[in-house]
């Protein structure tokens, strides 16, 4: 039987718990608590506890989170920052926008930033590595940490897609000087608009983040540097704080869905799947996306669409170095190859097991043809 399985279901985000969300919005509005109020402070405290960081800050969105994390860590003009090209433009734009230079790295077989390539890109100007914890997976932070230590580099994580993802029991975002999150609606912890967060274990970095997100003002109101207006909207904070309570169950549901995909599709030689959620693995992946590599990718996408299933090739089908007008001239063969084959299958908590079964059945039928 035909089903409609959209790639993402934005309406579900609100409808899922409409009565509770409405009450939270009403209560917060009736109090007149709009900017940097108790709801934001509560969320920051609970987020810090959840990921195991000393400090957490709500900011306007996941992009400004990276900009502020870089500046708070002292990154600026004259510095090189190594970042994967297989990422959303925001990871790289943030580096350029603080006046530093982004140096693009290739990916490894796991589609994550390749530490061995990173090691070859270090120069006397390199100041930091910016790993991107993509699709809800955390990079090999042991290897990246060792490279950073060897060369005296900072680590600033773009963990926009990885709130609660772990490597060796430690949460993405907590490995270096600072880590950033996005609460864009389609992210695993999504708000009803733009929202972002930054975590750090460093008191001095924390003090700078505190100032930079609110016009350079310290806790005593004194302005000591040029800052941004990048405060987390208090209504979004109230919603996020509520959603955080059941977030661990959401993550388990995503892992169960990934397990189903793996069970159904693991035997197809035409596909390359992400690692399944294995107990005892060094990685606790949270499957922000379920990105696969597929033979005849474009045909597969078309076939799924004709049968009611939405898929997406991330970021208009281009890695950052492939945007000609941005002026990068680098050779990243593994990233290039991946972008010829990658596609994301539906992965979100609105999906039923039957939805996933339907998608997998179609894919199996497609490759029999
Ligand atoms: C979503 C995302 C961002 C930016 O977050 P916004 O909240 O949309 O600004 C940055 N990096 C990555 C990898 C992302 O997926």
pLDDT tens over the chain, length 369 residues: 899 999 999 999 999 999 999 999 999 999 999 999 999 999 999 999 999 999 999 999 999 999 999 999 999 999 999 999 999 999 999 999 999 999 999 999 989 999 999 999 999 999 999 999 999 999 999 999 999 999 999 999 999 999 999 999 999 999 999 999 999 999 999 999 999 999 999 999 999 999 999 999 999 999 999 999 999 999 999 999 999 999 999 999 999 999 999 999 999 999 999 999 998 999 999 999 999 999 999 999 999 999 999 999 999 999 999 999 999 999 999 999 999 999 999 999 999 999 999 999 999 999 997
Ligand 1 centre and the CA of 190: distance in Å?
Answer: 12
Which atom of ligand 1 has the smallest separation from the CA of 183? 7
Dist CA 242 CA 22 (whole Å) = 12
Which atom of ligand 1 has the smallest separation from the CA of 194? 7
| Dihedrals phi, psi of 353, to nearest 5 degrees | -60, -35
Ligand 1 centre and the CA of 329: distance in Å?
Answer: 24
Helix (H, G, I), strand (E, B) or coil at 315: helix
Q: State residue 99's pLDDT score.
A: 98
Dist CA 146 CA 191 (whole Å) = 35
Dist CA 150 CA 241 (whole Å) = 39
Ligand 1 centre and the CA of 192: distance in Å?
Answer: 15
Q: Characterize the bridge pairing of strands 126-129 and 154-158.
A: parallel
Q: Is 87 in the pocket of ligand 1 (CB under 6 A)?
A: yes
Dist CA 176 CA 122 (whole Å) = 17
Helix (H, G, I), strand (E, B) or coil at 77: coil
Percentages of the chain per state (helix, strand, coil), in multiples of 5: 45, 15, 40
Residue with tokens 């002026």: 327
Ligand 1 centre and the CA of 366: distance in Å?
Answer: 33
HSE on the CB side for 13, CA within 13 Å? 19
Residues 6+ apart with CB under 8 A from 323: 89
Dist CA 247 CA 163 (whole Å) = 10
Q: Tell me how long the chain is.
A: 369
Ligand 1 centre and the CA of 90: distance in Å?
Answer: 6
**Order of strands across the sheet with 342-345?**
271-272, 290-294, 342-345
Q: Is 84 in the pocket of ligand 1 (CB under 6 A)?
A: no
Best mutation site among 161, 213, 289, 314 for ligand 1, i.e. most ligand atoms within 8 A of its Cβ? 161
Please name the residue ranges forming H helices in 61-133. 62-72, 89-97, 115-121
């Amino acid at each position: 039987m035909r089903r409609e399985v959209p790639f993402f279901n934005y309406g579900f985000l609100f409808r899922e718990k409409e009565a509770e969300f409405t009450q939270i919005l009403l209560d917060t509005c009736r109090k007149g608590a709009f900017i940097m109020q108790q709801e934001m402070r509560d969320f920051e405290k609970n987020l810090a506890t959840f990921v195991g960081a000393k400090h957490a800050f709500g900011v306007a969105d996941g992009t400004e989170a990276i900009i502020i994390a870089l500046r708070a860590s002292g990154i600026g003009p004259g510095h090189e920052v190594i970042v994967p090209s297989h990422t959303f433009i925001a990871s790289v734009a943030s580096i350029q926008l603080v006046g530093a230079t982004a140096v693009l790295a290739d990916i490894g077989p796991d589609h994550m930033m390749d530490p061995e390539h990173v090691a070859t890109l270090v120069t006397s100007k390199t100041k930091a590595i910016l790993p991107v914890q993509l699709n809800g997976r955390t990079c090999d932070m042991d290897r990246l940490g060792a490279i950073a230590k060897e060369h005296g580099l900072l680590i600033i994580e773009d963990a926009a897609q990885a709130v609660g993802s772990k490597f060796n029991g430690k949460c993405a975002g907590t490995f270096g000087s600072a880590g950033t999150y996005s609460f864009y609606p389609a992210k695993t912890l999504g708000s009803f608009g733009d929202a972002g967060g930054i975590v750090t274990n460093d008191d001095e970095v924390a003090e700078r983040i505190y100032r930079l997100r609110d016009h350079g003002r310290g806790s005593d109101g004194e302005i000591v540097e040029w800052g941004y207006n990048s405060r987390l909207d208090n209504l979004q904070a109230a919603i996020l704080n509520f959603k955080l309570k059941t977030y661990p169950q959401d993550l388990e549901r995503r892992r169960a869905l990934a397990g189903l995909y793996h069970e159904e599709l693991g035997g197809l030689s035409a596909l390359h799947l992400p690692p399944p959620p294995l107990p005892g693995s060094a990685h606790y992946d949270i499957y922000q996306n379920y990105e696969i590599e597929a033979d005849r990718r474009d045909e597969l996408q078309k076939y799924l669409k004709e049968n009611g299933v939405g898929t997406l090739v991330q970021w208009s089908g281009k890695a950052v170095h492939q945007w000609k007008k941005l002026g990068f001239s680098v050779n990243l063969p593994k990233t290039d190859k991946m972008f010829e084959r990658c596609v994301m299958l539906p992965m979100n908590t609105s999906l039923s097991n039957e939805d996933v079964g339907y998608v997998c059945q179609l894919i199996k039928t497609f490759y029999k043809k």
